[in-house]
Structure 1
């Protein structure tokens, strides 16, 4: 099956660098490819998106960045508007604070979610990636998140890092405003929530667990 990974193109976090989180990309990529799935990438602006979370001592990250179907593919990523959502059985919104700026309210990303979910596919998002799900309305005009169990980077964790006044909105509160039933674990503890074909993870520590749940759902 084909899975689309979506990456932020936003690089500024109140004067600090941000972008898509490499660890949140590599672990799901490895799990899904090992399960036999094909992974494609888009980034909001196309081309080489900004990146954070690079651990130069992690051999999996090093191998990913050198792989023609990994980092080399990301370097020439397409924009969301340039792909056919109907070609994908799953979509995964990778985290990184940049997603708070360019995932939220993005019409092409909403269209991808509607298409994948409406055809019985899997929708997943990690850390700040659920910003892409806020405000998404399905074909029957219901909010995707209304009544659904979800998680994301928590407001408390944002506040503890002094970033609650830097990000454009509180992700946790936005999910709750859409009617989602939000839960979280303590900071830096893995927490993955599955509600039907919707899979969300709280933080980078949740990346592998989220990917395993995606693989299980794609196999059904």
Structure 2
């Protein structure tokens, strides 16, 4: 059994828009389900700790799968999202992998959170996995490796595409574009078709492109864990 830290946002509203945001529920559900089926333990962390808001757009009928509904109605799972650990109180030495979920809110509380950066850097330096999906990849941009360089430099990395952001009409609302931010840190940005599931693994960094990719990230993370065993 491995211990995996799942990161969620505390941001419930766009700071510059009268619109709710938060965790894109499916991005947590499909990853967590795959990990738990393999017997791995999940803890939940957010920058400030406590409550994880759910993006209401992720709960619309056309976005929810049967699995999403199962977890949404699971009080134990939802209680865990409501009582996350604070990043500053987490001991990174206890974890084998970290997974950054997405939702637009993360763009305002992931990138500059030094506690999350230190957790991920420590996990990676200890031979663990750093993973993310969709906007969650924005949480990787300021993580440093042991030499102080960007962790994602010269590695294949995916995340929400510029064209997907433009399709939502939010390219001028977000503080930066995820794809551009990853490229700016020297990552070898890769992607599949817009809205299709896509994930890539490169030297213990596993990333997925969009909301459809949580399960694909989980499969890649499991493959790396199984190889390590």
Deviations 1:99-120 (A, max 9, x none): 1110012101100111110000
Q: Deviations over 1:117-170 (max 9, x none)?
A: 000001100000011110211121121011010110011111222111100011
Q: Extract unaligned runs of 5+ from structure 2.
A: none
In structure 2, C-alpha distance between the alignment counterparts of 1:186 and 1:119, rounded to whole Å: 34
Name the residue aligned to 1:15: 18
The Cα of 1:186 is off from its aligned counterpart by: 2.1
Matched residue of 1:12: which SS?
coil
**Correspondence 1:58-207 to 2 at 5 A:** 58-67=65-74, 69-207=76-214
Q: Distance in 1 between matches of 2:18 and 2:187?
A: 32
Alignment partner, residue 59 of structure 2: 54
8 A contact 1:66–1:72 mirrored in 2: no
What is the CA-CA distance between 1:55 and the residue it aligns to? 5.2
* Residue aligned with 1:115, SS: helix
Determine helix, strand or coil for the equivalent of 2:166: helix
CA contact (8 A) 1:194 1:200 kept: yes
Q: Are 1:33 and 2:36 matched, yes or no?
A: yes
**Cα shift at 1:180:** 0.4
Give the structure-1-normalised TM-score: 0.95
Do 1:190 and 1:206's aligned partners in 2 also have CA atoms closer than 8 Å? Answer: yes
| Gaps in structure 1 of 5+ consecutive residues | none
The 8 Å contact of residues 6 and 99 in structure 2, kept in 1 or not, is answered as yes
Kept in 1, the 8 Å contact 2:200–2:220? The answer is no
Q: Deviations over 1:23-64 (max 9, x none)?
A: 001111110011110001012222121102125764433432
Please give the alpha-carbon distance, in whole angstroms, between the structure 2 residues aligned to 1:204 and 1:15: 22
